[in-house]
Structure 1
Amino acid sequence: MPDFKLPADFSQRMKDTLGEAEFQDFYEALQLEPAVSVRLNPFKLSNLPLSARHVAWAEQGFFLEDRPSFTLDPLFHAGAYYVQESSSMFIDHILRSQRVPNDGLFLDLSAAPGGKSTLLSSYLGEEGFLVANEVIKSRASILKENIIKWGIGNTLVTHNDPEHFKDLEGIFDLVLIDAPCSGEGMFRKDPASMREWSQDNIALCALRQQRIMDHAAGLVKGGGYLVYSTCTYNEQENEEIVKFITEEFSYQPVRIPLETQWGIEEVRIESSEETFYGYRFFPHKVPGEGFFVTVFKRPDHAYIGSIRRMKDFKHPHLKQVSSTYAQQLRSLISLPEQSVFYALQDSYFFLRKQHQLYFEYLSKYLSIKYFGIELGKINKNQWIPSHEWAVSILPKEGFPLKELDLSSARDFLRKEESTLGEIPEGWIVMQYQGLSLGLLKNLGNRTNNYYPKEWRIKNL
């Protein structure tokens, strides 16, 4: 990586923080190629078929020796893993070290592109439910795509401003705010963030973070957790926001256990009454990028909002499917008995029964981009399965499976013709190394590739 010049004011602050000698180590680390890390989807892949070493603080996290072309890897498109910066995977250690219950309601308030949301989704599994929210419309579409590929079906993707959550105070077991920030920790991976850096931008980010926390910190129920993180180093966006939260809201400190060899720096943040803790990642100390995270716990006696069951589900666009019609859907495709279904125009969506209460209550307040698993639609009395169902973890019983080699899998992802040999007529689930990539329909005289056109990989 070519040498680059850090902003002068930033360099001086980091020298004041680290000292001259350690600053040199920090600066030299920024000249190195960043580590490449991925996190496995435990519902799809148990072992990584590449040479890799484990990320110490994340159960499914791995460092790769080299950076492959993820675009050309069918396993990436199958949602078998997510390419995520290793420092961000520390959220996994937070959840597991605190034994946060995995059967509750989580919120990722600034969720795009989906790294932390897919991590939370994996942790919740089939028990808990996640709201993955993104305020920027274009980024919400990227978030939706990544949630679909992850395929667990325990997530509601929403497109809302933090202010829109005001009627949902005290209902979430965990709220994660990966706040928009000045991006100092990403200088190595994103030179544009370095060019855009300024003291004025830091001040603007801090004001934005305070506004977000004003709306978000009250959403956590009594006994629940608030996690705040940034990819920046300065105290104005980190320690000062911690103090802001503790002054405005009632929270208790949470101290996360660390191993010395991890190289993560614990910082103590003194409030008027208690000591809180933050965790800072420097690229010369950890094999990852710059990151800061802190954890709070809501006192058990704090407000707990009630999620009330509605007698009749009413929504301007969605309709709950009757029990009789639900049985017909189950006869078309193999689905768990404990499930509910919703119709959006001519498309049908699956949701696990244990998530119904959360979903129906939240749907009154939030703008829905996606939820559960889209199953397909009925057209002229014919069932048309969806790509979303094909790449989900739902069973594919009753549908023929076609295992593809690497070349054929890439052709399928490009929506190009390839030699498939003898295949049955009708719908076929196309697979690579046992994981579903999407759907093909054999009409006898020709085949139709139903991989989403907007997701197809380009020729490289």
Structure 2
Amino acid sequence: MKHIEELGYGTDWINKRLYDSIRVNTIKIDPLTLKQRLESQGWILEQLPWYSYGFIVKNRTTELGNTLEHFLGYYYSQSVSSMIPVLALEPKGLILDMAAAPGGKTSQIAQHSGDLIIANDVNNARLNILAANLQRLGVSNVIITRKPGQNFHKTSIKFDRVLLDAPCSSLGTAMHNPRVLKQWSPKFSAKLSKLQKAMAESAFLSLKKGGILVYSTCTITVEENEEIINHLISLGAKVEDINLDIPHHEGITDYKGKHYDNSISKCWRIHPDDLESEGFFIARLRR
């Protein structure tokens, strides 16, 4: 709790109930048609003001994963803040989703680009879930690969866009996943930070010259966020503005006596109160 308060988040949000949210899968159905279908069944949906495919579920009459519309792949259950990284990526060209399972962001990329997507992960069980989700959602422009993210640059394939939604301590999800508070420790974050740096470096090296990397996590620690971006800057990455009109806070440039590159203020911290959603970190970088 002390660590969270030091970052300016407070703790009231941890016990706050969040509404569910969904992303319409426009590969199969348009937002208005799905909205009408679900509202005819007693649902109440509120469209996000900054993303026409996203809806907050104010009321539902059954579980999100137990509707005909879900089985048909008409929507994907996804937190509001986790829809932002793909928008920041502006996907086009050859695209890599380095840590793709369970497939939410991969399928979102496919809605915004018909170009080839490489969806990679390292765990067989998670890859099976990824494949099942992509099949349910009707995504056909994806090749699935299995490789440790930190080694992906060794393939020598160069991408126009890379998304790394990195494995993290998930502290931003504490309001509906309280066990993350019990398992977190400075040692845990330090261990994850080491892996994240290796994965982020590999993601950056997998870019073509001028290519874009979006790095994101659902955690709030500096060690897993700004620290990683500072490392990428040392390799030559340039932090870019995220040109979206969405409430957010700036990245942290001074923390516990350490100063990070000033351009890190262009990164986004999504506080739970910003969007009534999970805490998130998002950075857009160019090689």
TM-score interval, normalised by the smaller of the two chains: 0.7 to 0.9
Q: 1:53 is matched with which residue?
A: 46
- AA in 1 matched with 2:227: E
| Alignment partner, residue 16 of structure 1 | 6
Q: Percent identity?
A: 29
Unaligned stretches of 5+ in structure 1? Answer: 1-10, 299-460
Structure with the bigger RCO (C-alpha within 8 Å, sep 6+) is 2
Change (3 A) 1:256 1:268: farther
Spell out the pairing of 1:68-147 with structure 2 (5 A cutoff). 68-95=62-89, 100=90, 102=92, 104-125=93-114, 128-147=115-134
- Of 267, 272, 296, the residue aligned with 2:285 is 296
More helix by share: 2
Q: Which residue of 2 aligns with 1:313?
A: none
Mapped contact 2:21–2:57 kept (Cα < 8 A)? yes
Question: Which of 24, 28, 31 pairs up with 2:15?
Answer: 31
- CA distance change for structure 1 residues 211 and 203 in 2, over 3 Å: closer, same or farther? same
Equivalent of 2:152 in 162, 165, 170? 165
User: Shift of residue 188 of structure 1?
Assistant: 1.2
Equivalent in the alignment of 1:193: 180
TM-score with structure 1 setting the length: 0.56
Alignment of 1:171-250 (within 5 A): 171-247=158-234, 249-250=235-236
Structure 2 CA distance for partners of 1:64 and 1:233, relative to 1, 3 Å: same
Residue deviations 1:81-124, cap 9 Å, x none?
Answer: 100011011124314xxxx463x111111111111111111111
Give the number of equivalent residue pairs.
272
Other structure's SS at 1:65 match: strand
How many Å apart are 1:282 and its aligned residue? 1.3
SS in structure 2 at match of 1:63: strand
Checking the alignment, whether the CA contact within 8 Å between 2:101 and 2:121 is kept in structure 1 is yes
SS at match of 1:60: strand
Cα distance between partner residues in 1 of 2:5 and 2:91: 41
User: Could you say if the C-alpha distance between residues 167 and 201 of structure 1 is closer, same or farther in structure 2, counting changes exceeding 3 Å?
Assistant: closer
Distance 2:119 2:268 in 1: 24
Q: Which letter maps to 2:190?
A: A
Q: In structure 2, do the counterparts of structure 1 residues 78 and 131 end up closer, same or farther at CA, with 3 Å as the change threshold?
A: same
Task: Quote the Cα distance in structure 1 between the aligned partners of 2:179 and 2:86.
Answer: 29
Change (3 A) 1:210 1:92: closer
Q: Equivalents in 2 of 1:251, 1:215: separation in Å?
A: 12
Cα distance in 1 between the residues matched to 2:48 and 2:161: 24
Q: Does the Cα contact within 8 Å between 2:150 and 2:198 map onto a contact in 1? A: no
Give the C-alpha shift of residue 164 in structure 1. Answer: 4.5
Rounded Cα–Cα distance in structure 2 between residues aligned with 1:174 and 1:251: 14
TM-score by structure 2 length? 0.88
- Cα distance in 1 for residues equivalent to 2:95 and 2:49: 24
Shift of residue 272, structure 1, vs aligned partner: 7.9
Deviations 1:236-278 (A, max 9, x none): 111111101111x22222101343xx43112264888762321
Residue 170 to residue 296, structure 1, CA distance change in 2 (3 Å): farther
Distance in 2 (CA, whole Å) between partners of 1:239 and 1:162 is: 19
Q: Cα deviations across residues 368-401 of structure 1 (Å, max 9, x unaligned)?
A: xxxxxxxxxxxxxxxxxxxxxxxxxxxxxxxxxx
Counting only pairs closer than 5 Å after superposition, residues 61-460 of structure 1 correspond to structure 2 as 61-67=54-60, 68-95=62-89, 100=90, 102=92, 104-125=93-114, 128-169=115-156, 171-247=158-234, 249-259=235-245, 262-267=246-251, 269=253, 275-276=263-264, 277-298=266-287
> After the TM superposition, which of the residue ranges 163-172 and 204-213 deviates more from structure 2?
163-172
